A and B are shown apart, each in its own frame.
Chain A
Amino acid sequence: MTKRLGDIVRKISRPLYSNSRLVNYYWQRTKRNKLAIFGLAFIIFLVLLAVVGPFFTLDPTLVNFEEKNLPPVGFAIEQSIYNIETDEFTTTKVSGNWKHPLGTDSKGRDMLAMLISGARVSLLVGLIATGIAIILGTIIGVLSAYLGGWADNTLMRFTDVMMTFPFFLLLVLIVFIFGPSLAIIVLAIGLTGWTGAARLIRSEGLSLRTREFVTAAKAMGASDNRVVFRHLIPNVISLIIVMATLAIPGVILAEAALSFIGLGDPTVPSWGIILESGQHSLNTAWWVAVEPGIMIFLTVLAFNFLGDGLRDAFDPKSNI
């Protein structure tokens, strides 16, 4: 089974790695878009951070009330501390130190460590959920286009029905019913987010299936399976790449939004969860909410820039 799956993946992505000349051409085109390169650089940085970062930071779960609500380096705030013996508040000036460069939250956990382990979670959510959505969308779109007739009608009407559901409400409902675990959230986003991809791929597939090479493949005895996986999908791979890149930020945002309204997985420190925990202490410790917010903002922006750049590069009609 895994061998068969690997075989399919290899065959589908074959045009990507076997044609270095063309890949180089697209790289040259993408490179002309400075924002896309910024996006790519940031994403690579983020991935590295998420993969190796946790080995160098403090334990993100380490609670230390002695050092709670420390501001980031370079900032200072006034903190009122209640003294139980004298029964009065003493106000002290607290400034950030290099032990916790990005400060600590209300439980004294290191913000830098939390953000880095949050990057891991958010990226994983983004990649896996997008993967599920794109694979589903591709299969449904290609089948719909290739089979035509009543199969096409059934699949597309199903897609329409899925699209009429308010996406976010559906997510909230699923998470509410099945409980807020990360796996459920990822699955829910993946299983609801494929509709746009399915439609796009179908429209591309409709024009592809009338091309003569499809008839030629069939005339040579290729089965439907083979036509779909060997001839149709490799022809829409550039579309899939662009769609996936543009879908990832939406997924990261959706997970953050779910966490923000309290439906995130409380056991896993994603950026959304940190943001949510920070919203209660905006008065006393603004950085707990602002820092993950900035990370989400930059990440979403980076993926969007890269996706836009790739789309322009893959589009033969665009002049860049």
Chain B
Amino acid sequence: MIMDNTILKVSHLKTYFFTRRGVVKAVDDVNFELIRGECLCLVGESGCGKTVTALSILGLIDSPPGRIVDGQISYNGLDLAKCSPKQLRQIRGNDIAIVFQEAQSALNPVLTIGDQIVEQIKLHLPMEHSEARERAMTLLNEMGIPSVERVMSYYPHQLSGGMKQRALIAMSLSCDPKILIADEPTTAVDVTIKAQILDIFRELKAKRQMSLLFITHDLAVVAEIGDRAVIMYGGKDVETAPVSEIIGEPKHPYTAGLIECLPDLSKTADRLASIPGTTPNPSEMPQGCAFHPRCPKVMGICSQHEPPEIVISREHRISCHLYK
């Protein structure tokens, strides 16, 4: 369903890595659309293909060994999966920007924060150096960084983790992108910083009408910030729904399992709940539904046929044999 206010639509995206030990289907048929001004969360365990999806959107899959083998990524009338490197360079940073998980490694250690942001601005906007500097300082200020003038001349290692993450967000915002992809931006920081970073994203959404694609494995974060969520498992989207429905009435057994895993402070439990088993190795995906070896409601059909996508309601899609 393409609506007028869909800004990014990913359909049947397949990104495979052709390694010496076989084909790794990191992303294997993922579908979702990002609505203008919403925060869409991509949720899943490590290795389920969240980050590869994000990198595919920006055309940053290392090739070889990786390649987008099939699918469309429609943005603004373009198919990003088939764009030339030059077109992609124009789009990166300008239209779609990304914030990486670890600010420490995502910032160049030998350039000052100011230099990196100013460079970023000058790369996309026709600005003089002093003008770009002004803009960089305004951005850092908006991110709640104190004594901006000093921070501009700091090197990444001179800043705390939270500060670095803010500087990184400021950098990705430097050219007013329409879409901001956040790849687990709160995973590497501690809880108080996490709350502040989430506040920043919430504000971005409210003030700038930014469309956010928020990648996380943390359902608490999803509940906090997300409008809709895509639950991913084994390189596929298994359930797509508004966050309230995901949290309130999860349909897919995997989603339900994830929510059960959240510790509940109001109850006393000897052991925390967990989903038995481990995430499958992406090069040896189980037959049928990828989740069936771990699924509590597994049926005979699950190990034979891949579940089709079932539309439960206008905004709720699911891939599971339970809901025929």
Main SS of chain B's interface residues? mixed
Sample 12 A-B pairs with CB under 8 A, ordered by A number. A15-B111, A19-B112, A19-B155, A211-B105, A215-B55, A216-B100, A218-B60, A219-B58, A221-B89, A221-B123, A226-B123, A235-B110
Tell me, rounded to whole Å, the shortest Cβ–Cβ distance linking B292 to chain A: 34
* Across the A-B interface, the 9 shortest Cβ-Cβ residue pairs: A221-B93, A221-B92, A220-B93, A212-B105, A216-B106, A15-B110, A213-B108, A219-B98, A212-B106
| B288 interfacial by beta-carbon distance below 8 Å | no
Which residues of A from 259 to 310 have beta carbons under 8 Å from B? none
**Are A235 and B124 in contact, CB atoms less than 8 angstroms apart?**
no
| A234 interfacial by beta-carbon distance below 8 Å | yes
* Chain B residues at the A interface, C-beta cutoff of 8 Å: 55, 58, 60, 64, 89-94, 97-98, 100, 102, 105-112, 115, 119-120, 123-124, 155, 168, 171-172
Residues of B within 8 A of A219 (CB): 58, 60, 92-93, 97-98, 100
Which of A22, A218, A223 is packed against the most chain B CB atoms within 10 Å?
A218
Asked, given contacts A212-B102, A215-B60, A230-B119, whether A221 binds B124 with beta carbons under 8 Å apart, the answer is yes
Residues of A within 8 A of B111 (CB): 14-15, 230-231, 234
Residues of A within 8 A of B60 (CB): 215, 218-219
Q: Which of B64, B98, B105, B112 contacts A213 (CB 8 A)?
A: B105
Q: Which of B64, B100, B171, B172 contacts A149 (CB 8 A)?
A: B64
Asked, given contacts A221-B90, A221-B94, whether A213 binds B109 with beta carbons under 8 Å apart, the answer is yes
| A207 interfacial by beta-carbon distance below 8 Å | no
Tell me, rounded to whole Å, the shortest Cβ–Cβ distance linking A237 to chain B: 8
Tell me, rounded to whole Å, the shortest Cβ–Cβ distance linking B68 to chain A: 16
Asked, given contacts A15-B111, A215-B60, whether A223 binds B89 with beta carbons under 8 Å apart, the answer is yes
* Chain A residues at the B interface, C-beta cutoff of 8 Å: 14-15, 18-19, 22, 149, 211-213, 215-223, 226, 230-231, 234-235, 237
Residues of A within 8 A of B58 (CB): 219
Tell me, rounded to whole Å, the shortest Cβ–Cβ distance linking A193 to chain B: 26
Tell me, rounded to whole Å, the shortest Cβ–Cβ distance linking A152 to chain B: 12
A213 to B171, CA, bound (A): 12
Residues of A within 8 A of B64 (CB): 149
Tell me, rounded to whole Å, the shortest Cβ–Cβ distance linking B197 to chain A: 17
Residues of B within 8 A of A235 (CB): 108-110
**Are B105 and A18 in contact, CB atoms less than 8 angstroms apart?**
no
**Are A231 and B89 in contact, CB atoms less than 8 angstroms apart?**
no
A235 to B124, CA, bound (A): 24
A316 to B155, CA, bound (A): 17
Tell me, rounded to whole Å, the shortest Cβ–Cβ distance linking B291 to chain A: 30
Tell me, rounded to whole Å, the shortest Cβ–Cβ distance linking A16 to chain B: 10
Residue of B nearest to A237 (CB): B110
A218 to B85, CA, bound (A): 11
Residues of B within 8 A of A221 (CB): 89-94, 123-124
A216 to B98, CA, bound (A): 8
Residues of A within 8 A of B171 (CB): 220
A226 to B92, CA, bound (A): 14
Residues of B within 8 A of A234 (CB): 108, 110-111
Residues of B within 8 A of A22 (CB): 155
Tell me, rounded to whole Å, the shortest Cβ–Cβ distance linking B87 to chain A: 11
Tell me, rounded to whole Å, the shortest Cβ–Cβ distance linking A138 to chain B: 15
Q: A213-B107, A215-B106, A216-B106 are in contact. List 16 more A-B contacts (CB 8 A).
A: A212-B100, A212-B105, A213-B105, A215-B55, A218-B60, A219-B97, A220-B93, A220-B123, A221-B90, A221-B93, A221-B124, A223-B89, A230-B119, A231-B111, A235-B109, A237-B110
Residues of B within 8 A of A237 (CB): 110
A234 to B109, CA, bound (A): 10
Residues of B within 8 A of A222 (CB): 89, 123
A219 to B155, CA, bound (A): 21
Residues of B within 8 A of A217 (CB): 108
Residue of A nearest to B96 (CB): A219
Tell me, rounded to whole Å, the shortest Cβ–Cβ distance linking B184 to chain A: 12
Residue of B nearest to A236 (CB): B110
Residues of B within 8 A of A230 (CB): 111, 119
**Are B100 and A215 in contact, CB atoms less than 8 angstroms apart?**
yes
A273 to B90, CA, bound (A): 58
